């Protein structure tokens, strides 16, 4: 994989390099299985009272993969999202993200890990009201340590990339649902995370906007982003090259559509 990190539209490059100055990544198969972004081994999450949301989940997500984590509500997929996103820790098992064993990391370091390696997209967008789309996207870099001018510059690039170059100064209430979700996606990818976690990204959208958002995720994946879409919708999951089915806290199926490799 090359180390190009420029977000300039028209020169699609991988979005996975967290450190623009690091040139050491060897060129490789974009989904090299020996270079997992996330690796879960025997992950169990039990809540006080004996409810187990996850029971021994093993999951490997390779770089530049696009996968769906699909399951009905109550299946544990949200818990899985939280654990993969390092927002929560498993009660047993190991989680390795971008080479870091998260069990050994303090809350501070986990925060830094999220800032550098993970981007989130939520069903309800969670945009900050009253500030422009560009500033919303720039918020995604607030905890990265980049200077403000650079954050704003990259935010403009990211908005351009999601097709909203003409909506830079619009505020969230002036945008449609699909546009809001694209702003949220721009915010998630502006930091060029190793892993993009999208939690029901089309859940609050009509089918046309939803399809546009899914198309955007496909495009980002083609540019090299590793994306996990968490959904209960099998139809959406079926569009993706890999589907991990969750039921009752366990992986019941892991299907790859070989053609997409």
Place of tokens 């550098």: 116
255 binds other proteins (CB under 8 A): no
Is-contact 217 230, C-beta < 8 A?
no
Task: Provide, rounded to whole angstroms, the least separation between the CB of residue 79 and other proteins.
Answer: 8
Contact between 88 and other proteins by CB under 8 A: the answer reads yes
Sheet holding 195-199, edge to edge: 118-121, 195-199, 227-231, 66-70, 242-247, 250-256
Q: Does 9 bind other proteins (CB under 8 A)?
A: no
- H helices, E strands: number in the chain: 7, 10
- Decide if residue 46 touches other proteins (CB under 8 A): no
What is the rounded CA–CA span in Å between residue 201 and residue 210?
8
Smallest separation, CB 122 to other proteins (Å): 7
List of residues 6+ apart from 20 with CB closer than 8 A: 3, 5
Q: How far is the CB of 141 from other proteins (least distance, A)?
A: 8
Within residues 103-162, the interface with other proteins by CB under 8 A covers 105, 107-109, 111-116, 118, 120, 122-124, 126, 128-131, 139-140, 142-148
| Per-residue binder mask for other proteins (CB under 8 A), 216-235, x = binder | --------------------
**Single residue of 55, 100, 153, 256 touching other proteins by CB under 8 A:** 100
Measured from the Cβ of residue 253, the count of other Cβ atoms closer than 10 Å reads 10
Q: Which is nearer to other proteins, 46 or 131 (CB)?
A: 131
Residues paired with 41 in a beta bridge: 94
Report the residue number, 117 or 243, with the smaller CB distance to other proteins. 117
Instruction: Please give the full DSSP string across 157-193, using - where no structure is assigned.
Output: HHHHHTT-GGGTT--GGGS-HHHHHHHHHHHHHTT--
Q: Is 47 in the site for other proteins (CB under 8 A)?
A: no
Residue ranges that bind other proteins, judged by CB under 8 A: 18-19, 22, 24-25, 35-36, 82, 85, 87-88, 98-100, 105, 107-109, 111-116, 118, 120, 122-124, 126, 128-131, 139-140, 142-148, 187
């Amino acid at each position: 994989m090359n180390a190009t990190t420029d977000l300039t539209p028209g020169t699609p490059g991988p979005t996975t390099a967290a450190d623009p100055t690091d040139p050491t990544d060897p060129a490789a198969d974009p989904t090299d299985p020996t270079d997992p972004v996330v690796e879960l081994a025997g992950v169990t999450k039990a809540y006080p009272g004996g409810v187990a949301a996850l029971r021994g989940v093993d999951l490997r997500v390779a770089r530049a993969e696009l996968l769906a984590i699909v399951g009905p509500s109550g299946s544990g997929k949200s818990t899985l999202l939280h654990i993969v996103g390092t927002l929560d820790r498993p009660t047993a098992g190991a989680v390795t993200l971008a080479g870091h064993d998260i069990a050994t990391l303090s809350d501070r370091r986990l925060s830094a890990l999220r800032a550098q390696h993970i981007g989130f997209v939520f069903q309800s967008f969670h945009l900050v009201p009253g500030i422009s789309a560009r500033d919303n996207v720039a918020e995604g870099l607030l905890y990265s340590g980049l200077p403000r001018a650079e954050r704003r510059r990259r935010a403009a690039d990211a908005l351009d990339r999601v097709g909203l170059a003409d909506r830079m100064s619009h505020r969230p209430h002036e945008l449609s649902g699909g546009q809001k979700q694209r702003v949220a996606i721009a915010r998630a990818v502006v930091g060029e995370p190793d892993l993009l976690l999208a939690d029901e990204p089309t859940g609050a959208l009509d089918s046309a906007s939803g399809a546009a958002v899914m198309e955007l995720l496909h495009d980002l994946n083609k540019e090299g982003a590793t994306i996990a879409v968490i959904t209960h919708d099998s139809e959406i999951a079926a569009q993706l090259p890999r589907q991990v089915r969750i039921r009752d806290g366990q992986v019941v199926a892991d299907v790859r559509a070989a053609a997409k490799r």
